[in-house]
Amino acid sequence: MSLDANNEPVPGLDFPQLSRWLTATLPEAGALVSAELIAGGRSNLTYRVQLEHRSVAVRRPPLGHVLPTAHDMVREYRVLSALSAASDVPVPEPLALCTDLEVLGAPFYVMDWVDGRILRTLDDAAAVDLTPQQAGDVSTRLAETFAAIHLLDVNAAGLGDFGRPEGYLGRQLKRWGQQWERSKTAELPAYDRLVERLAKQLPESGRPSLVHGDFRLDNALVRLEPAPEIAAVVDWEMSTLGDPLADLGLTLVYWAEAGEEPLPVGSTITAAPGFPTRREFAETYASLTGFDLSGIEYYVAFGCFKLAVVVAGIHARFLQNATVGEGFAEIGAAVPVLVDRAHRVLDEGSF
């Protein structure tokens, strides 16, 4: 899907308005030539925008069913600005923020375009002839990047007030519970039981750190040559200050292993030869951070809970015909699967 002066516009972009704003804001980049929606995003929308002299990315909220406190472009722009200026965490360089609703009907920002691959599926692995050695190297680079996020000196980076890490897990449980009430399209007793279990077993929040909120391989841009590297981490819409183990728990929910039935949502590429198991990835992360992972099973169950609520919100937007792109028709089926998986992790003490 693309647009130019002669084609149909991409949903969420007003070509004339965006063109005028970009010309005034980034005059050295030249006129707007074309734009396309980047497939795969199921929350905030990202577009590749071609200007006369450079490519940029435009990021804006979804078109409908926007929940309170979600999809905050200003916060996302702030964390990218801080990381770009004062850290080794690879992120796209933010270029400009627009809070004028007259332009696109919602706040949005522009960042530099970073060349790299999104590796999401087993087909993606086959398409690039991903070797087991490369898969292992990519996983190690991903763990190193994850550790760099969680070990960041947030005060030195200007993010000391980016969130309230004290009581983080309790607030997250409450917040996502409220989002569930706004998003659910059917009653699910197993969800209610899960919330009760998570509340009763709630641990004290661990070492406060910057958390990404949705860290996974397909939220990173990867380069394989000359050696595998993480070119940029993207999709920072849920970032805040909190418990890094909650971040890790969700990453492990996404991490598929060979021989498993894949989730109806998420990537499958980590089931390809050479990728470590969830346990092995967690051990690499622990060796890099020094964090104690003895209670990680709770955080994996918590990650299942959070992802179930996120997916319920996406499903609600789909039912309102407010999603853009493909792959939404079956996403609602992931909600009970994730809830059941959380119960199993708590029951069996394994992930």
- If you count DSSP H runs as helices and E runs as strands, how many of each does the chain have, helices first? 11, 10
Same domain, residue pair 86 and 179: no
Question: How many angstroms separate the CA atoms of 103 and 110, rounded?
Answer: 13
Query: Which residue bears the tokens 């960041």?
Result: 152
Peptide bond into 226 cis (omega under 30): yes
Point out the domain boundary residue: 94, 112, 130: 112
Length of the chain equals 351
In this prediction, residue 169 has a pLDDT band, given cuts at 50, 70 and 90, of very high
CATH assignment at residue 167 = 3.90.1200.10
Same domain, residue pair 225 and 344: yes
Cβ 247 vs Cβ 212: under 8 Å: yes
Phi, psi of 72 (to 5 degrees): -85, 105
Same domain, residue pair 134 and 228: yes
Same domain, residue pair 280 and 143: yes
Same domain, residue pair 130 and 187: yes
Question: For the chain, what is the domain count?
Answer: 2
Least confident of 61-65, 121-125, 210-214: 61-65
In a domain, 66, yes or no: yes
Is the model's pLDDT at 341 over the cut of 90? Answer: yes
Point out the domain boundary residue: 49, 82, 112: 112
Same domain, residue pair 213 and 310: yes
In a domain, 265, yes or no: yes
In a domain, 188, yes or no: yes
Query: Which residue bears the tokens 């292992």?
Result: 136
What pLDDT score was predicted for residue 186? 79
CATH assignment at residue 48 = 3.30.200.20
Same domain, residue pair 320 and 344: yes
In a domain, 217, yes or no: yes
In a domain, 221, yes or no: yes
Cβ 245 vs Cβ 81: under 8 Å: no
Phi, psi of 46 (to 5 degrees): -125, 135
In this prediction, residue 5 has a pLDDT band, given cuts at 50, 70 and 90, of very low
Same domain, residue pair 38 and 158: no
Per-residue pLDDT tens over the stretch 85-109: 999 999 999 999 999 999 999 999 9
In a domain, 220, yes or no: yes
Distances (CA, A) of 47 to 58, 60, 61, 91, 318: 5, 9, 12, 16, 20
Nearest to 154 by CA among 87, 234, 249: 87
Q: Compute the average pLDDT of residues 285-308.
A: 97
| Highest-confidence segment of 175-184, 257-266, 309-318, 329-338 | 175-184
Pair type for strands 220-223 and 209-211: unpaired
Point out the domain boundary residue: 77, 112, 147: 112
Strand boundaries in the chain, DSSP class E: 2-3, 32-37, 45-51, 55-60, 94-98, 108-112, 209-211, 220-223, 229-233, 240-242
Q: Compute the average pLDDT of residues 224-241.
A: 96
Question: How many angstroms separate the CA atoms of 108 and 106, rounded?
Answer: 6
Same domain, residue pair 32 and 136: no
Same domain, residue pair 267 and 126: yes
Same domain, residue pair 212 and 65: no
Q: Give the DSSP H or E segment for 125.
A: helix 122-127
Strand boundaries in 70-198, DSSP class E: 94-98, 108-112
In a domain, 117, yes or no: no
- Full-model pTM: 0.91
Cβ 61 vs Cβ 106: under 8 Å: yes
Same domain, residue pair 214 and 261: yes
Q: What is the DSSP string of 140-155?
A: HHHHHHHHHHHT--TT
Enclosing domain of residue 14:
2-112
Strand boundaries in 80-142, DSSP class E: 94-98, 108-112
Per-residue pLDDT tens over the stretch 297-331: 999 999 999 999 988 888 777 666 655 555 566 77
In a domain, 21, yes or no: yes
